[in-house]
Amino acid sequence: MFRKIRWELTLTYILVILFSVGVLGIYLLGYLNDYFTRYLANEIYAQSYNIAEAWPRRQDLSSLSRREGSFYRGIITRMSNQTGSSVVILSERGVPIFFWPKSSPPDPGVSIVPEVKTALTGKPARGDTPDYLSQAYPIKETSQDDGETKVIGVVYITRSKTYLHSILLELRNRFLVGLLISLGVSLLLALVFSHHITKPITEITKTAENMARGDLNQRANVTTMNEIGVLSERFNLMAEKLQGTMEALMSEKNKLSAIINHMSGGVFVVDTGGEIIMTNRTALNLLGLREKDIVGKKISGIIPGHSLLRLLEDANYRREIHGSLEEMPDEKSVDAHITPLFADGSKTLGVVVILNDVTKFHQLDRMRTEFVSNVSHELRTPLASIKGLAELLIDGALKEDRADEFLDSINREVDRLTRLVKDLLDLSKMESGMMKMEKHPVNMEDLIRQVLIRMTPQAKKKNIIITADLKCDNLVFANMDRIQQVLINLIDNALRYTPEGEKIFVNLRKKEHDCLVEVRDTGPGISPEDMERVFERFFRADRARTRHGGGFGLGLAITRQIIENLNGTIGVRSNPGKGTTFYFTLPLVG
């Protein structure tokens, strides 16, 4: 019954044995390296000792005769050849007086080697580097007169570790080959045994994965007589119960999803762990998210640092809260209403977040506020002027010579108010679609020439030259009176901002299926932030100059409405200090 588990335990033991062999091999290789190193160190120590004892005891080692030198050279040569060492004999001043082999002369700085310096003080010293071992042994002479021992030289022996390294490398290679063979055999056994062990587990795993993907009809087909077989039976029983439960839950979820998805507001259902468990398309659109971005994720990870998270923290899954969201995409205005979900009266399940897009309401309110503010601002100046002049007349100015001048000023201010009211009414009718524009073929070249003739006197007053380049003799489908109004507005606007003595350029071109009109001035230009608002009503880039010229800031707004109602397009290009170009297109006839 437990055959499979025993095999699994056996495989585990094999892996443990292989691990132990590896550790033992590493330990043995280290031990052998230390052993051989100590052996070589002892060998060159004995060699240096023997040479030091055999060397003649005299103060002046440089005065050896040729015969004596030959004798000692023979001794050192035999020892050196037997062990493969290099031998250097140094005087008490650290000067080399003999070395072997002759093909390897000592380094000029051998006297400052730490081992040599120590030996010159009368103490043997050993050196150990990755590449060689060294031993320095003092040659001492004892005085017969006073018994004082002096160092008269040093035997310095070095031996390469190359041979030792080659032996250790061979041992290491043999060990690795043996280890690889063991691993290969162990791996082969593991593959055979793991196949039998994991086959039923794999069957259950695949069944669980298919169920996780939604196929609840899957069942595990395992017939083994061990714990895994019992697990398979329990798993299949659980799958049957789960299938029935999921079908009931899915039916209820589909009903709830249908209701939520058809709601006009956005809905988020968040559990106590902060994970989103339900939402609808409206909520995703409001927060600029995609459905795949929220699957299995927490709301704090989807919108980190968002104001909605702060509202959730304030609600704390216990109380109802309402607030406005910040940092919304596309400058949307969204209100959030958070309501906690309770089970059994006290246990918190999460919260329901209702999101409502109130952008249009805020825009309308802002437009209403701006409109009232702008109209009040525009009405205040002429009304104040009329009131002031009227008070002067009431106070007796009617009897003075300037009475006619005061009355003329009142009349001009009334006309200005009348123009303002008329422009506002026209703009309102065009925006609401109440003003119908009759369309008929219009020759733009002729129309522009007529407008230029009309605007020439005004241009001459400022010594401004209007240059026209008209190259589109095709007819456009538009309203002549309204297009004339557009041209007058654009050219008048250019005259206001163009310095005296400069030029204005009016160009007419054919552009695919449209006729393109451009009015370019050489004025101060418009800043990038102002370019986005030039077509708004009451907006003026230079309020002081525009007011001085008598404008209300409605001309460009009316111009845009006229062009758009005639199925055309309008825009502006400008660089500060380099002038401004207003352009519009109108569809050609046919």
Q: What stretches in the chain show pLDDT beneath 50?
A: 1-3, 59, 61, 543-550
d(CA 456, CA 88): 113
pLDDT at res. 516: 93
The DSSP H or E segment spanning 179 is helix 162-212
Rounded to two decimals, the pTM is: 0.41
Contacts of 391 (CB under 8 A, 6+ apart): none
Give the N- to C-terminal CA distance of the chain in Å, as an integer. 91
**What tokens does 335 get?**
């209100």
Residue whose structure tokens are 């100059």: 545
Could you tell me which CATH number the domain at 3-167 has? 3.30.450.20
Q: CB of 87 within 8 A of CB of 50? A: no
Under DSSP, the state recorded for 522 is -
Starting from the edge strand earliest in sequence, which strands make up the sheet with 266-271, in order? 276-279, 266-271, 347-357, 334-343, 321-325
pLDDT at res. 517: 93
> What letters, b where the CB count within 10 A reaches 16 and e where it falls short, cover 44-53?
bbebbeebbe
Would you list the DSSP string of 58-122? -S-GGG--HHHHHHHHHHHHHHHHHHT-EEEEEETTS-EEEEESTTSPPPTTGGGSHHHHHHHTT
Spacing of C-alpha 258 from chain mean position: 37
pLDDT at res. 542: 56
| Each residue's pLDDT tens digit, 302-318 | 777 677 777 777 777 77
Q: In which residue ranges of the chain is CATH 3.30.450.20 found?
A: 3-167, 263-357
Name the residue type at position 550.
G
The DSSP H or E segment spanning 510 is strand 503-511
pLDDT at res. 581: 92
Name the residue type at position 252.
E
Helix 359-394 × helix 403-432 angle, to 10°: 160
Name the residue type at position 486.
V
- The CATH number for 263-357, chosen from 3.30.450.20, 3.40.228.10, 2.40.30.10, 1.10.287.1040, is 3.30.450.20
Under DSSP, the state recorded for 275 is B
Spacing of C-alpha 453 from chain mean position: 59
- The CATH number of domain 361-432 is 3.90.1170.30: no
d(CA 183, CA 177): 10
The radius of gyration of the chain's CA atoms, rounded to the nearest angstrom, is 52
Q: In which residue ranges of the chain is CATH 1.10.287.130 found?
A: 361-432
Torsion of CA 545, 550, 556, 557, to 10 degrees: 120
Fold classified for 440-587: Heat Shock Protein 90 (3.30.565)
d(CA 512, CA 121): 104
Strand residues in 200-357 grouped as ranges (E): 266-271, 276-279, 321-325, 334-343, 347-357
Q: In which residue ranges of the chain is CATH 3.30.565.10 found?
A: 440-587
pLDDT at res. 566: 85
The pair phi, psi for residue 464, each rounded to 5°, is: -105, 135
Burial of 307 (0-12, 13-18, 19+ CB in 10 A): middle
The DSSP H or E segment spanning 149 is strand 149-160
Return the closest-CA partner of residue 153 out of 145, 165, 141, 143: 141
d(CA 251, CA 303): 31
State whether residue 445 is helix, strand or coil. Answer: helix
pLDDT at res. 1: 37
Under DSSP, the state recorded for 569 is E
pLDDT at res. 150: 81
**What tokens does 319 get?**
């109380």
